[in-house]
Amino acid sequence: MDKAGFRALMDSTGIYYDQVHPDYIERSKVEELPLPFLEFDWTPIPFFADGINYFTIHRVEVRLYTDVESELTEAQVSAALTGEDLSFRIKKEYLPNLNIWQTTYTIGII
C-alpha cells in the first residue's frame, strides 16, 4: 500500500481527515476543525544491509482526535485498518490543555 492508498483508506472511515499534518496539535487547530478528525504521518524507513537498500518500511501514525472517549469512532478506524489486514498498536491519552482525547494507531507497512 502506498501513501495515496492509505489516504483513501482513511477517507473510507467517514471521519474528517486533516490534510495538514503537524507534528503536534495546537488549540487553534482544535477550534478550527470539527471533532472528531484524523491526521497521519507517513515516514519511510529504508532497510539497508551491505550498502544495499533491500526494502523500505513505512512507519505510519494515525492520530484520531475526539472531544470524548468514543469507542464507536475508534472502532471505525480499527475496522478500516483490520479490513486491510494491517496490524497496529493503540495508545490513548487525554490532552488536558486542549480538552481532547488523542488515540494514536502505529502501523508498519512494507
Per-residue pLDDT averaged across 44-63, rounded?
93
pLDDT of amino acid 37: 93
Dump pLDDT digits (tens) for 61-78.
999 999 999 899 999 999
| Domain 3-109: assigned CATH number | 3.30.2000.30
Query: What are the C-alpha distances in Å from 29 to residues 14, 22, 68, 85?
Result: 19, 10, 17, 31
Q: What is the pLDDT of the chain when averaged over all its residues?
A: 91
Domain ranges of the chain: 3-109
Per-residue pLDDT averaged across 34-40, rounded?
91
Largest CA distance in the chain: 49
